[in-house]
Chains A and B, each alone.
Chain A
Amino acid sequence: MNPDAVEEKQEEGNILVWLTGFGLLMAMIGIFIYVPTERTEGVIQRIMYFHVPCAWLSFFAFFVVFICSILFLWKKDREWDIYAHASAGIGVVFCSLVLITGPIWARPIWGAWWVWDARLTSTLILWLIYVAYLMLRAQSDAGSMRARYAAVLGIVGFLNIPFIHFSVLWWRTFHPQPKVITNEGIGKGMDPSMLATLGLSLFAFTLLYFLLMGERVRQEKLKDEIDRLKREKLYSS
């Protein structure tokens, strides 16, 4: 890559850092200052403004794994495998945050940290599938077979997400019903200030995803370059 292109890419990265930082700051102001306290749940309902964005980010990350895995199996291009691996790591981190913040909200509202209902259990299964995906990548030797097995797991794992989404509609669950996309329309089940705060938080977390993705992809490419040079060194000696 020529120096001008590197500089341009760094500048783009800096803009994204500032934009994400600003977005997260505005979301925090919205969550703790702007949005009114919910009448029935009280102050604890504010957890929703980062619990839902964490869930959105993890689902989006797993969707990227799904698409990139299909593209990798089709095109056999290492680039797609890098994107899938990078996105899976981010997805697992944010899915973990969903599984931590959910019980913190549930304890005072339900009186229990965890219940084995459809939404919670299917989310835990999703997390376990992608932890297995990362373990598979970490344990087996580098090579196209590892990437192929991981791609298949990445595709199969994503099939759980529609199940998670519809679980609260198909079964009677403890988990709250959807508030943003309802039968009456988008955002009809929420106060406009709450919807705006949630929207801002979702936007900021989406920017955060792209920022983290940039770093993770860079990490994978650095590892590849190191491996290539090590092989070169081995053959030359």
Chain B
Amino acid sequence: MDNLGFLFAANVCVWGGIVFYVYTLKQRNRALEKDLDLLKETLSKER
């Protein structure tokens, strides 16, 4: 069971990296949706 630490480190990097990427993607999309809604609201008020 040598090198278990290396296997663990590689796993943390891969799954941690994927989870972090998905999380940032979701957050960014949510922020953009919010911006879009706000912009639409402002434009409809102006008209």
Contact = CB atoms under 8 A, between A and B. Distances in A.
A, B co-complexed? yes
Interface string B12-47: 011001100110011011001101100110110010
A47 interface: yes
Residue from B2, B6, B28, B35 with most neighbouring chain A CB atoms (10 Å): B6
Contacts of A44: 2-3, 6-7
Contacts of B42: 233
B17 A93 contact: yes
B9 A226 contact: no
Residue from B7, B13, B40 with most neighbouring chain A CB atoms (10 Å): B7
Interface residues of A, number: 33
Give the 8 A-B residue pairs with the shortest CB-CB distance, closest first.
A222-B32, A44-B3, A104-B10, A108-B3, A47-B10, A101-B10, A229-B39, A215-B25
Interface string A31-48: 000000000001110110
Interface of A: 42-44, 46-47, 50-51, 54, 93, 96-97, 100-101, 104-105, 107-108, 208, 212, 215-216, 218-219, 222-223, 225-226, 229-230, 232-233, 236-237
